[in-house]
Amino acid sequence: MRIWKTNPKLMCRKHLLGEHVESHMFVGAINKHKNINGHIKKGQVEIHNLKERHEQLAKEMKKRGYNHKSPLPKFKSIKQGKINIKENIRELARRCKYCRNLINQELSYK
């Protein structure tokens, strides 16, 4: 599980929808009192930003014409975790040619 926290418009369909599902998985784990400390230590989640991030993902999904009918369940949000966005952009570009194309298009407009 991982929250990329990059601009959602830079993510391909697979990564956008995958992160959306994983935001629900993190909240489910939190609500079941499961240990997610490994993800926190690896910089894969910021608990305090899960709700806002889910909203960003849902907004991009709707913008692309995807159905979004899964509000994020309530959970106890605490300030924990730190994600390196620049590192995640590089990792997305390395892993996925579709994300890489979106990232390169965005950089060419700047």
Q: What are 39-66's pLDDT values in tens digits? A: 999 999 999 999 999 999 999 999 999 9
pLDDT at 106: 87
Each residue of 69-81: pLDDT tens digit? 999 999 999 999 9
pLDDT band at 90 (very low <50, low <70, confident <90, very high): very high
| Distance between CA atoms of residues 30 and 96, nearest Å | 29
- Whether the CB-CB separation of 52 and 29 falls below 8 Å is answered with no
Q: Which CA distances in Å does 62 have to 12, 46, 59, 65, 100?
A: 14, 23, 5, 5, 22
All structural domains of the chain with their residue ranges? 8-109
pLDDT band at 107 (very low <50, low <70, confident <90, very high): confident
Residue with tokens 């999904």: 61
| Distance between CA atoms of residues 26 and 1, nearest Å | 8
